[in-house]
Amino acid sequence: MEKLTIKSWALDDRPREKLLAKGKASLSDAELIAILIGSGNRKESAVALSKRILQSVDGNINELAKLSVEKLTTFNGIGEAKAIAIITALEIGKRRQLEAALVKPKITSSKAVFNVMQPIIGDLEHEEFWVLFLNNSNKVLAKSQISKGGLTATVVDVRILFKRAFELSSVALIVCHNHPSGKLQPSNADKQITNKIKEAGNTLDIKLLDHLIITEKAYFSFADDGLL
């Protein structure tokens, strides 16, 4: 019995033809992956196989991007070449996000901060603390990682943070860190760090505008929640 290739499917089930006829936005995640792998196995089409792979990560593309070649090749019909094709495509997508984040945007909301920082720290498996340094037009002058690892009030060196702010002639700051656990609720340490930076900023006339806790798909804003 031969593999079920895309050409053997009903016309409505062919993602390549669907892309040409209706555009790329019309395709589901499974259909996009099906185009990458080209064929399934003896029992299922590429779309069905792609759906099964996605189901293994609860439909989360970010989790799919973390799968190794070894893990992907455990699925019947996925060899090394197909696994590499999936990993490569998802890495290109991530790099595209990172390139967009390199543009110095004007920060107008907490959502804008999330869009800048999520590609950088949203899917990390460890915590990182970052600062956005802003000018008087709320444009990002620079982004800097201040600490890496577990977050405590002693890990973030406020002196280094404000030294960098002076070097850039920054008039405002937004601080961010990620929660690999996916929990958005701020801890006592998060609140202590926020207050410490805010008080130092008040003394130095450099305003702390917000502190965001970032996960893969969502964020918590101290400013939006009235905690600043």
* Residue 168 burial (C-beta neighbours within 10 Å; 0-12, 13-18, 19+): middle
The secondary element (H helix, E strand) that includes residue 213 is strand 207-214
pLDDT of residue 209 exceeding 50: yes
What integer pLDDT is reported at residue 181 of this predicted model? 87
- Residue 30, token pair as written in the block: 């499974």
Helix (H, G, I), strand (E, B) or coil at 126: coil
Whether 34 contacts 45, CB under 8 Å: yes
Stretch among 104-108, 158-162, 191-195 having the lowest mean pLDDT: 104-108
Helix (H, G, I), strand (E, B) or coil at 38: coil
Half-sphere exposure of 101 (CA within 13 A, CB side): 18
- Give the closest residue to 184 by CA, choosing from 151, 227, 213, 225: 213
Specify the CATH superfamily of domain 104-221: Cytidine Deaminase, domain 2 (3.40.140.10)
Q: Return the exposure string of 102-125: e unless at least 16 CB atoms fall within 10 Å of the residue's CB, then b.
A: eeebebeebeebbbbbbbbbbbee
Whole-number Å distance between alpha carbons of 124 and 131: 17
List, in sequence order, every residue forming a beta bridge with 207; answer none if it has no partner.
172
User: What is the pLDDT confidence band of residue 26, given thresholds at 50, 70 and 90?
Assistant: confident
Q: What is the mean pLDDT of residues 182-187?
A: 91
- Give the closest residue to 182 by CA, choosing from 221, 214, 149, 223: 214
Whole-number Å distance between alpha carbons of 32 and 35: 5
> Which pLDDT tens digit goes with each residue over 125-183?
889 999 999 999 999 999 999 888 765 444 788 999 999 999 999 999 999 999 988 89
* Residue 40 burial (C-beta neighbours within 10 Å; 0-12, 13-18, 19+): buried
Arithmetic mean of pLDDT over the chain: 87
The secondary element (H helix, E strand) that includes residue 208 is strand 207-214
